[in-house]
Structure 1
Amino acid sequence: MFISLEGIDGSGKSTQARLLAEALRGAGHDVVLTREPGGAPGAEEIRRLLVEGDPDRWSAETEILLFTAARRDHLERTIRPNLAAGKIVITDRFADSTRVYQGATRGDLRGLVDGIHALAIGMEPDLTLILDMDPEAALARGLARRSGEDRFEDFGLPFQKALRDGFHALADQFPGRCRLIDAGRAPEAIAADVLAAVQAALP
């Protein structure tokens, strides 16, 4: 099973992905936890180009190409081999992030994103969990981390609000695989809902 966690910056995706992996391993499943951009050596090198530096470093079109290049490496070297081996793969972000970040909020580029995705990637997660929370609170949390990977947070609050709207639209478009999870609560409560959604979808 291939599971993605999505949401705006600072919504707790990395924490919830880790807690989900731990819970599923505790239940006896073989789990691979990965992330985007990254998840494979080449993709991690591209990650630094995308998440560090000035917000205006790249155009949205260039970002789409860079994210897709990283995603293709991730797909070839991590996702497909582990799914073929019968493992559960959990990724912190996948193609939905590109649909929202570049396709919906940085110009009317959704058609470009979907076209390149169809040609270069050609797969979707079995289940996508969208962690939904107040953009102002999420942005404060994301910036407080001081991770050095703040390029998208540096676009500011209006950008984060547009991202949230984009993820809501995505959940409406793909109700078969997307679940909205209230991420404005204690991590343990969020984790319980995340695990319940996954358990309901497991074959």
Structure 2
Amino acid sequence: MTMISEPDVPAIELGHRETVPGKPSRARMIGVIAVGAVLVTAVNVTAAVYLYRGVDDLRTMEARLGELGQFEQRIGARIDTVNNGFQSRFEALDRQLQANFGQINGNVARLEQGQPVAASEPALGAPEPAITDNTTVADASAADQGANAGDGQPSFKRKVAPPGPNPSYQRIQQPDGKVYYKKIN
């Protein structure tokens, strides 16, 4: 390799450099890169901590949701038990009403034939309170006191309704299990 040298040009010293205005120095560039790396590392560490906490909270919620499923099954079983109890009570009441309707229809049929209805037949349902027209509780209690004179037991006289047309009822059971009664004249 050949070197061309000009004697008039001063020699360049390699150890000493002048900085150009507007161009950062090498030390400053390394410092900026180091600060940027520290900031990125701090953001990554913070994100990792929050991610770990979020995952931990998610695991806790999944465990609680698993318990909620078991709780739901227990509540469902109890509701089914209560529903079965109510259904059996409604069925018993339905049978009792059917029996009462049958007894009433039988009594009405006997009355229509002119036969007296036996007063000694036991009532299947609970006794109903007496119905009186244009009386108050005070009037009824005064009448009871006069009639029982020291007995202490109220006596109710039942007003008998005049026989009317024989209404009959049709039992309608829907596919979902609901039972309705429709009055047929």
Range of TM-score over shorter length: under 0.3
Higher relative contact order (CA 8 A, sep 6+): 1
TM-score (norm 1): 0.19
TM-score (norm 2): 0.21
Name which one, 1 or 2, has greater alpha-carbon Rg. 2
